[in-house]
Structure 1
Amino acid sequence: MSLRSVCVFCGASTGTNPVYREAAAALGETLAANGIRLVYGGGAVGLMGVVADAAMAAGGEVVGIIPQSLKDAEVGHSGLTRLEVVDGMHARKARMAELSDAFIALPGGLGTLEELFEVWTWGQLGYHRKPLGLLDVDHFYSKLSHFLDHLVDEGFVRAPHRAMLQRSDCPATLLQLLVNWQPTVVAKWHDRTPS
């Protein structure tokens, strides 16, 4: 699979560890260096702003998708290749997914997790066949990864669906994992036996 466009989910904060900012910048630079367009939430603040600024500074193409309410709150980025303003959060996520060949989550909070899990669920249900990845900066996602494995062990998530989510602490390695990923078609439901 070739990646022309990658959606990045990340925090509107930079977090407490400076390594998160460094990783966001490295991801933006890596996307630009590989000719991959960055699609993201359109913010100028937090890791969102860092990844966008780094991609732009490295000569990359950056498309931001932001709801009107957040743009009105003056958090929209004014220095992008293109900033699209949409009606709300649902439209934002749908448009980001439409424009992207893959998805990467940097460290972030509730919004980042919600975006990641929604697009992962869409893949699980067969609405798309696009790879997903975690940029696991300083083991940020290690506890989540263990919990996801627990969901498989307990029979709530199928192993092929768990395998849809790639993980690396290196942007270039993660991009390669996404390029190499092959979708597996398997029903979401473990069984159809009535309880």
Structure 2
Amino acid sequence: MRIAVFCGASSGRRPVYRDVAFAFGRLLAERGIGLVYGGGHVGLMGAVADGALEAGGEVIGVMPRALAEREIAHRGLTRLDVVPSMHVRKQRMAELAGGFVTLPGGAGTFEEIFEQWTWAQLGIHEKPCGFLNIDGYFDPLMAMVDAVMREGFMKPVYRQMLVVTPDPDEMIRRFASYTPPPRKWTEAPAP
């Protein structure tokens, strides 16, 4: 099995983000779970890859050519797939991974996980999506998601499908036992 990790190309302001990213990469490798990620050597991306590599894990990076040419690609990976665009990157990562974990990051990180979460709701895939909630980083985002649900723009089952935990072991356990909800729009909407 492989898990895709979406996270920042920056390390953030607090060392705990980098420490947990490194430890999560190491934990994946120790559990025999391959890592698929954005391919960079910088920020949390580099930390999660370094943790997995140090523990002897498989690490596959997927990076658009434009970023690879800027020399931010990690040089010690098991495999680096250089692709033509960000769209192809996300598609390739989705093909390679059996689930998606999000660590702290910015707009690109949010865009990546929200696309996979949407695809899961639509039944395009049946893979788990999770947020490793380091020191409450995703609490404001989850409060917004809960507001969306309360206001009737999302069914509770699609909120509940997200695995949100600060515990890396729990994340892996819940991914292993994940059962997808019914896909959205299996029936025609009422007029």
* TM-score bin, normalised by smaller chain: over 0.9
Equivalent residues of 2:123, 2:183 under 8 A apart: no
The alignment's C-alpha RMSD in Å is 1.4
CA distance in 1, matches of 2:55, 2:49: 10
> Which stretches of structure 1, 4 residues or more, deviate above 4 A after TM superposition?
188-191
**Structure 2 SS opposite 1:133:** strand
TM-score, normalised relative to structure 1 = 0.94
Matches within 5 A, 1:35-74: 35-74=32-71
User: Once the 2 structures are TM-superposed, how far is the Cα of residue 180 of structure 1 from its aligned partner?
Assistant: 1.5
CA distance in 2, matches of 1:148, 1:190: 24
Gap regions ≥5 residues in structure 1: none
CA 158–190 in structure 1, closer or farther in 2 if over 3 Å, else same: farther
1:110 corresponds in structure 2 to: 107
**1:157 aligned onto 2:173:** no
Worse-superposed segment, 111-120 or 181-190: 181-190
**1:180 aligned onto 2:171:** no
The number of equivalent residue pairs is 191
Q: Which amino acid aligns with 2:53?
A: M
CA 186–68 in structure 1, closer or farther in 2 if over 3 Å, else same: closer
CA deviation string 1:120-161 (max 9, x = no partner): 111111100000110000000011111111111111111111
**1:31 aligned onto 2:31:** no
Gap regions ≥5 residues in structure 2: none
Q: Which amino acid aligns with 2:118?
A: T
**Structure 2 SS opposite 1:85:** strand
User: Once the 2 structures are TM-superposed, how far is the Cα of residue 22 of structure 1 from its aligned partner?
Assistant: 0.7
Equivalent residue in structure 2 for 1:82, among 79, 83, 91: 79
TM-score, normalised relative to structure 2 = 0.96
Q: Which amino acid aligns with 1:126?
A: G
Equivalent residues of 1:158, 1:188 under 8 A apart: no
Identity among equivalent pairs (%)? 49
Q: Which amino acid aligns with 1:98?
A: E
CA deviation string 1:18-50 (max 9, x = no partner): 100011011001100000000000011000000
CA deviation string 1:66-116 (max 9, x = no partner): 000000011011100000000000000000000000000000000000000
Equivalent residue in structure 2 for 1:127, among 103, 124, 127: 124
**1:92 aligned onto 2:89:** yes
1:170 corresponds in structure 2 to: 167
